[in-house]
Amino acid sequence: MVPRWWPSQCHSSDHHGTRMVAIVVPWRRWLVWYQGGGHCGATAVTTMVPRWWPSRCRGSSHTATIPLALPSPQSVTGTFCPAHEDSALVSCGLDRGRFLLSDVPFPGSTPVLLKRPSFCPAKRLGERPELPLPAELRGRGVAAGVAVLLRASTGRILLTRRASTLSIFPNIWVPPGGHVEPGEELLAVGLRELEEETGLRLPAGTFSWGTLGLWESLYPPMLSRGLPRRHHVVTYLLLRSDEPHAQLEARMRPNESEVSAYAWLEPPVLAAIAATGDEVKGLGGVPSALPATISITELSGGSASSTRLPTATLLATAPARGEDVERVSTGTKFALGLCLGSQGRP
């Protein structure tokens, strides 16, 4: 299914188990996600109208039928910005369960910053065509996700540490979030994932919200740790609660299969985390203005206990090689920068 304002000559078919889609589009460049069901098994289709079409067909009112197939990993951000840049301003929106990106506004769309890390594996793969990709990796496509920064009235923001048993980004600090299910609105995804992971339900009328930005995420996050097995574009939302963090925490019942710890972090710590950006160097120093440790809540066997975590752990950056370390995800740092007003537009 495609947007209502597109021509109706759109159709889809299946060919030898691979979903093939034909879309009739105007002479513009579009990215389209077709979301599949399930969390771990979510699949999608991503494509674009070739860049050279507008220049060859400028002024034409005709449309073209484009056959689409699941592509090999390629950088979504790179579709909208030059190869040497890592961010672009795009228009995004949902239409009947489909997540759309475009370099031009369309009905119901929102302008937003799309960014990838400088070490994005899809970007690096584009620079190294000699690297062969197994068929199962070439056919995965891009899935849509949502993550929510929940900010209490006291100014603190909730981050959670992913369980060590998870197959993607174990032991990494992130906001609650997950896949977009077919037909879901972005806010509904964020609220659902917040409740599923933390047990926290926000009553209607007790919060406001807005879109922060889009982040291109692959796992493993670097080619030095292997070829990418998962590829997402994550929409970061900011939820501003009318309640203080202590009141929110009293209602939390975290899901230990997904969350091993959580923390309500103060603005100075959040600003220091955001300032580390997407640097690749491992553990860094702690600014003298920050405490040496911060309070977190550890979860184990159905019980919760307060403990102290070295602040340096949250300021760690992704190591270039070897095993990953406990740290705040690079995408989360990007979102925190936007939330705190320290990140500019391209």
Q: What angle do CA 196, 240, 146 make, to 5 degrees?
A: 45
Per-residue pLDDT, averaged over 288-295, amounts to 94
Does residue 166 sit in the same domain as residue 310?
yes
Per-residue pLDDT, averaged over 113-124, amounts to 92
Higher pLDDT, 145 or 94: 145
3-state SS class at 270: helix
CATH number, domain with residue 146: 3.90.79.10
Neighbours of 256 (CB within 10 A): 15
Does residue 322 sit in the same domain as residue 279?
yes
Give the dihedral sign, CA 206/190/217/327: positive
129: in domain: no
- What pLDDT does residue 71 have? 55
2: in domain: no
Higher pLDDT, 25 or 322: 322
Per-residue pLDDT, averaged over 284-305, amounts to 91
Does residue 66 sit in the same domain as residue 184?
no
29 pLDDT higher than 90: no
61 pLDDT higher than 60: no
128: in domain: no
Helix (H) or strand (E) holding 15: strand 11-15
213 pLDDT higher than 60: yes
122: in domain: no
Task: Lowest mean pLDDT of 34-43, 139-148, 242-251, name the range.
Answer: 34-43
Instruction: Give 284's pLDDT tier (boundaries 50, 70, 90).
Output: low
321: in domain: yes
Does residue 80 sit in the same domain as residue 161?
no
Between strands 64-68 and 98-102, the pairing is unpaired
The alpha carbon of 49 is separated from its chain's Cα centroid by a whole number of angstroms, namely 23
- What pLDDT does residue 43 have? 33
3: in domain: no
What is the rounded distance in angstroms from the CA atom of residue 218 to the CA atom of residue 152? 30
Of 97, 115, 133, the one marking the end of a domain is 115
Does residue 206 sit in the same domain as residue 313?
yes
Does residue 156 sit in the same domain as residue 236?
yes
Task: Lowest mean pLDDT of 78-92, 160-174, 330-344, name the range.
Answer: 330-344
Does residue 68 sit in the same domain as residue 181?
no
What is the rounded distance in angstroms from the CA atom of residue 159 to the CA atom of residue 181? 23
Does residue 47 sit in the same domain as residue 108?
yes
- What pLDDT does residue 94 have? 80
- What pLDDT does residue 10 have? 35
- CA nearest to 100, candidates 56, 176, 43, 47: 47
17 pLDDT higher than 60: no
Does residue 266 sit in the same domain as residue 155?
yes
What does the pLDDT look like over 218-237, one tens digit per residue? 999 998 888 888 889 999 99
Of 76, 99, 115, the one marking the end of a domain is 115
Joined tokens for residue 115: 């960014």
339 pLDDT higher than 60: yes
Instruction: Give 282's pLDDT tier (boundaries 50, 70, 90).
Output: low
219: in domain: yes
Structural domain boundaries, residue 184:
142-339
Does residue 279 sit in the same domain as residue 196?
yes
Per-residue pLDDT, averaged over 268-287, amounts to 82
- What pLDDT does residue 133 have? 76
3-state SS class at 12: strand
Q: What is the mean pLDDT of the chain?
A: 79
Q: Is the preceding peptide bond at 182 cis, omega within 30 degrees of 0? A: no
What is the rounded distance in angstroms from the CA atom of residue 335 to the CA atom of residue 158? 13
Does residue 187 sit in the same domain as residue 231?
yes
What is the rounded distance in angstroms from the CA atom of residue 57 to the CA atom of residue 303? 64
- What pLDDT does residue 125 have? 84
Q: Where do the H-state alpha helices sit in the chain?
A: 52-56, 76-80, 121-127, 135-138, 186-198, 245-249, 267-275, 311-314, 330-339
Structural domain count of the chain: 2
Residues facing residue 147 across a β-bridge: 177, 236
Does residue 105 sit in the same domain as residue 156?
no
- CA nearest to 159, candidates 295, 320, 46, 68: 295
Neighbours of 342 (CB within 10 A): 13
123: in domain: no
Of 78, 97, 115, the one marking the end of a domain is 115
137 pLDDT higher than 80: no
Q: What percent of the chain has pLDDT over 70?
A: 75
